[in-house]
Structure 1
Amino acid sequence: MEKTDWRFKIAHKEAWIGVGLALFNFIWWFGFAYGLGSRPVDEYSYIFGLPDWFFYSCVVGFLLISVLVIVVVHFFFTEVPFDEEEDS
C-alpha cells in the first residue's frame, strides 16, 4: 500500500485557509454592500467622494483582505519543496 505524501496534508490545510479567507471576503463585501447600500440614495453618506457602502465593502475590504492574506501566508503557510523525493 502506497503511503500518502506528507505535502498533501499541508496543501489540504492551506486550501481550507484559502477558502475561509474567500468566504470572509465575500461576507464582508456582501454585508456592507447590501447592508449599507440598501438605503435610499438620498440617505447615503460619502467618504472621499464614494458612498459609504462602497468605501467599506470595496476599498476597506480590499485593504483588509490584502493584509489578512499577507499575515496568513507569512505565519500559517509552510514552504514545501516540489521536487520528487527519491527513495534510497
Structure 2
Amino acid sequence: MEDKRFRIAHREAKIGVILVIINFAIWYGFAYGLGRQDPTTYTYILGFPAWFFYSCIAGTIFMIVLIAIVMKFFFSEVSLEEEDEECTGK
C-alpha cells in the first residue's frame, strides 16, 4: 500500500509546477508584450517602464498573494515521521 504522503507530495508538486507556469506566462507576456514597443513610446509607472513594472513588480506581488492563497487552501501539513505500524497495516 502506498503511503498517503506520496500522493499529497505529488499533488502539491503539480500545483507548484502550475504556479511556475503562471508566473512565467505573466512575466513573459508583459515583458515581451509591452516591452516589444519602440522605447520612445513607453509609458512609465513609478519611474519604471510599464512592461517592467507589470512583469517584475506587479507580477511578483500577484504571485506572492497567489502562493499564499494556494498554501492556505490547497497544501496540507504532513508529518515526516514514520507512521506507526498499526496505522499502515504492516
Q: What TM-score do you get using the length of structure 2 for normalisation?
A: 0.93
Deviation string for 1:26-65 (max 9, x for gaps)? 0000000000000000000000000000000000000000
Report the aligned-residue RMSD. 0.6
Residues 1:16 and 2:20 are matched in the alignment: no
Q: In the alignment, which residue of structure 2 is the partner of 1:82?
A: 80
Q: In the alignment, which residue of structure 1 is the partner of 2:39?
A: 41
Q: Cα distance, 1:10 vs. partner?
A: 0.5
List, as ranges, runs of 4+ consecutive aligned residues in structure 1 with deviation greater than 2 Å: none
Q: Cα distance, 1:85 vs. partner?
A: 1.2
How far, CA to CA, are the matches of 2:13 and 2:19 in structure 1? 10
5+ long unaligned stretches in structure 1: none
5+ long unaligned stretches in structure 2: none
Amino acid at match of 1:11: A
What fraction of aligned residue pairs are identical, expressed as a percent? 51
Amino acid at match of 1:4: E
Amino acid at match of 2:82: E
Count of matched residue pairs: 86
Q: In the alignment, which residue of structure 2 is the partner of 1:63?
A: 61
| Equivalent in 22, 25, 34 of residue 23 of structure 2 | 25
